[in-house]
Structures are given as C-alpha cells and as structure tokens.
Structure 1
C-alpha cells in the first residue's frame, strides 16, 4: 500500500512539480531549495556538477556510458538567474553552461539518494573515483 502511494505521489509530482519558494546559494559547497509543498533540499556542489543539465559537462565516455568523475571537491563560485524559471551555476572547474530549472532542482532533490547511489555504482563499475586524479 505504501509503495503504491509513493508511486502515485512520484507520478503526480513529476507531472506537476510544486512551485519554488526559496533558493539559497551557500558557496562554495551547496544550494538549498525550498518548494511550496514544504520540501527542502540541500544539494551539494558535487551532486549538482555531476548532474549538470549541460551537454558539454566534461563527460568521459566509458564503455558507452557518459561518466563525470573526480568532482568531490568542486565548488560553486556563483549562480546567475535565467529568466524566472532557473539559474546558471558557475563551478570552480569553470563549468557554467548548464541551466538548472526549478523543476530540475525538484527532480534532483526528490531523487537525490537514488541518483547518488547509482552514480557511485557507475564509478565503481568503471574503476573511477569521486576524488580528482592526483597530479604527477
């Protein structure tokens, strides 16, 4: 019964996400977003960077999978509003082309633990790390 209710809620919120009521940049490590349904999500810079909606987010193709790795210590330098629907985040690795919509923030926050778990599994599968490569 509980699983069914959660599935129905998930389908409903995916089709009609709540309205953003607060966006708080907490540089260099996170963004906090709050929505009209009371949901509050603290999203780390690393998490936002690896799930950047940009097409050119310095992705490495490993075995046909696109994988961003080595971003554990990435920071957020700034956030610039884009219209009234989102924000462009500028990271200290100079990535700045992704526009995070309010709906995308809700998706990331609602699925944060599953997304991060899947990301870590993918890194392990390819022998990659969240830590940046050591300089020689």
Structure 2
C-alpha cells in the first residue's frame, strides 16, 4: 500500500457506533464508509494479521462479536483502534480506511470465501 498523498481523501468525521459495532467514516470527497468492527479486525494492518510478507496472512476466526473499545488519533494520518479482544497493534491510515470503505463488499466476500476454504464458519451471536 502506498503512503498518504496530499491529494488523498481525508476523513471529515469518524464516529464509533458501539451498539451496532460500526465505525462510520465520512471523507472529504463524499464517500461514507460504514465499517463493521469485525471487518476492521479481520483486515487489521498489523503484522499479527498480515504476517511479514505476501502469503503469510493469518486468517482471523471467531471475531463476529468483536467491538472497538477505543479510537485514538495518530498524527494527521491514521487512527489506532483497540478491540474488545485486546488487539491494538494496527495503525489504520486514511488511505487504508478509504480503501476499506470503498471495497467493503468485495473484502467481506473475500473474507467469507477464505473462511469457507479453511473449513470455518461465522458463528451467530448469542
């Protein structure tokens, strides 16, 4: 992923909806993302999830009930999310959040396909 460019869309609002487990992000170009905490967790940019190179990604399972407990700004380029399962090592740049917002449906289907290929399934909430 490339670095932040001066022309990159920037968030104008970031709002956590804990009850519905959604992170709402509005960008200055009019794009609005409604990102589930589960999607953000399974696509964390951390080495723990992405591995240390292509093909070393670690499939995250059992994250359907995860929530975000804290959102912290990191400079003028990213946020750090702390999840209810203790994960807090990924920095979500504006560019990455924009990519997640635009590609939500495709990324979600890719995640479901990877779960199925691994013989895993999402378990319903209690």
TM-score, normalised with respect to structure 1: 0.76
Asked if the contact 1:79/1:88 (under 8 Å) is kept, the reply is: yes
Secondary structure in 1 matching 2:114: helix
**Ranges in structure 1 where 5+ consecutive residues have no aligned partner:** 1-15
Asked if the contact 1:73/1:131 (under 8 Å) is kept, the reply is: no
1:68-110 deviations in Å (ceiling 9; x for gaps): 1110111111111111111110001000000101111000010
- What is the Cα-based RMSD across aligned positions, in Å? 2.5
Asked if the contact 2:37/2:68 (under 8 Å) is kept, the reply is: yes
Secondary structure in 1 matching 2:47: coil
Q: Within 2, Cα distance between the matches of 1:126 and 1:113?
A: 20
Instruction: Map 1:17-96; keep pairs closer than 5 Å.
Output: 17-27=8-18, 29-57=21-49, 66-96=58-88
Answer 1 or 2: which has greater helix percent: 1
**Ranges in structure 2 where 5+ consecutive residues have no aligned partner:** 1-6
Offset, 1:17? 3.2
TM-score, normalised with respect to structure 2: 0.82
Offset, 1:43? 0.4
Q: Within 2, Cα distance between the matches of 1:58 and 1:72?
A: 19
1:46-76 deviations in Å (ceiling 9; x for gaps): 00000000001498xxx97631111011111
